[in-house]
Amino acid sequence: MKITIVGGTGYVGLTTAVGLASKGHLVFCVGRTKEKLEKISRGIPIIYEDRLDELLKSVLKKGKLIPTIDLTRSVQKSDVSFICVGTPSRQDGSIDLTQVEEVAKKIGKALTGRKEYCVITVKSTVIPGTTEKLVLPALESFSKKRAGKDFGVCMTPEFLREGHAVKDFLFPKDQGIVIGEFDRKSGAVLYEIYKDFDAKILRTDIRAAEMIKYARNSYLAKDVSFANEISNICQELGVDYLDVKTGMELDSRIGTGRFLSAGVGFGGSCFPKDVNALVAKAKEIGTKPRILEATLEVNEAQPATLIKLTKQVIGELKGKKIGVLGLAFKPGTDDMREAPAIKVINGFLLEGAEVSAYDPEALDNARRIFGNKIVYVSKAKQAIASADACVIVTEWPEFADSRLYSKMRSKIIIDGRRLLDPGLLPADFTYHAIGFPKPIKT
């Protein structure tokens, strides 16, 4: 098929574009920034995701991916157009649909120049009702055509996880695929794209598809906040949360507990934004989203527990040197949107500490956030060598290697993610962690 991805320079858009091109479709990867598109056309993926680099180069070489700024011509040539633009939070937490609306209007205009039936599908995360009340009317009024007759409409929520985006796209078995369809004809076109993927496919209506995305993210975010709350209680009671988590996982009703790890809270471009948007919508329609609000409240406060622990360990932070390991909101990505590291580092700075920081992929994004307020280093060892404490904020696998810490002057580690096995640390170290009852001396 010929497919257009609008928002092709973003995390979801670029992964979808490259993924669909690798499946043999001809994909127009539409962005609005020439510089980014130019990089993509040279095989530079502009975001960090495992395997994206090689896959991008391969689809470009085969002529299957066409990076372009020309939305109109791309849509006119395409059987399916995906809307993958951003849906950020407004100041009050509600969803900002400006990008979606603008793109829907542009696609609507473009449709005037297409004679054959095609399908427009929303992949951006949007509050239930958005596709039917905002996107569809914009498409109809700007194209002067009728949905269902002249073109189809779908909503196909995206479930990829940053850090595993390419794998999740190509092998969505663990996530499943949801097609929200305006009518059977619209859904059949999307089904054709996804039918050969090894995953269950749910065909449902558009509103349910929109809601499934929010329900899933809210459920997982709630698990993270639950884990952090229990971990905080454990810490005060002198109980090791890791043992508690292991004990919980023995209960098959609780399951694998992949979201029950305690830490500094969830971040990223999805959980905080999506839970906030659902809270705002729930209030707007007169319901009380108590669990969702509590989820956000716990999460908001969680970075402060790491700051508090650091103060308990090394005393007043004024003038102290802190080596921070990990800045991205999670390992495997360079994304720092809503990263807990932002709150942790700002807390350290507010207390007068000096911060040197390292992340394998997120240093460029961190520079845009902190400017010259902190020191950036290109090796983990440099961040911690002369620090009064090493604070682990993101659980990149390389930080689990205990040899990394051998040259540390202070020999104090504060683990915000329970990443390290303190038993493997060199002699004379003191190890503290979130949800850990008392320090271990090696």
User: Where do contacts with ligand NAD occur on this chain (CB under 6 A)?
Assistant: 6-7, 9-13, 30-33, 71, 84-87, 99, 102-103, 124-125, 158, 160, 162, 269-270
CB of 427 to ligand NAD, least distance (A): 42
Task: Report the alpha-carbon distance of residue 162 to residue 292 in Å, rounded.
Answer: 22
Q: Which is nearer to ligand NAD, 6 or 353 (CB)?
A: 6
- DSSP H or E run through 281: helix 271-284
Q: Which is nearer to ligand NAD, 86 or 347 (CB)?
A: 86
Q: Which is nearer to ligand NAD, 229 or 274 (CB)?
A: 274
| Cβ-based neighbour number of residue 307 at 10 Å | 23
Q: Which is nearer to ligand NAD, 68 or 442 (CB)?
A: 68
DSSP-derived letter for residue 24 is T
For strand 2-6 and strand 26-30, is the pairing parallel, antiparallel, or unpaired? parallel
CB of 107 to ligand NAD, least distance (A): 10
CB of 89 to ligand NAD, least distance (A): 10
For strand 177-181 and strand 151-155, is the pairing parallel, antiparallel, or unpaired? antiparallel
Contact at 8 Å (CB) between 77 and 68?
no
Q: Which is nearer to ligand NAD, 270 or 336 (CB)?
A: 270
CB of 74 to ligand NAD, least distance (A): 10
Q: What strands, in cross-sheet order, belong to the sheet with 177-181? A: 65-68, 26-30, 2-6, 80-83, 118-122, 151-155, 177-181, 201-204
Q: Which residues pair with 414 in a beta bridge?
A: 391, 432
**What is the residue whose two structure tokens read 């011509």?**
73
CB of 408 to ligand NAD, least distance (A): 34
Q: What phi-psi label fits residue 128: left (phi over 0), alpha (psi between -120 and 50 degrees) or beta?
A: beta
Task: Report the alpha-carbon distance of residue 203 to residue 214 in Å, rounded.
Answer: 17
Is residue 154 flagged as an active site residue? no
Map residue 228 onto helix, strand or coil: helix
Q: Which of 84, 154, 270, 390 is catalytic?
A: 270
Token output for 320: 């102290």
CB-nearest residue to ligand NAD = 10
Q: Which is nearer to ligand NAD, 102 or 205 (CB)?
A: 102
CB of 97 to ligand NAD, least distance (A): 10
CB of 95 to ligand NAD, least distance (A): 9
Map residue 172 onto helix, strand or coil: helix
Task: Report the alpha-carbon distance of residue 131 to residue 258 in Å, rounded.
Answer: 32
Q: What phi-psi label fits residue 411: left (phi over 0), alpha (psi between -120 and 50 degrees) or beta?
A: left
Q: Which is nearer to ligand NAD, 139 or 414 (CB)?
A: 139
Token output for 164: 């595993």
What are the catalytic residues?
Answer: 270
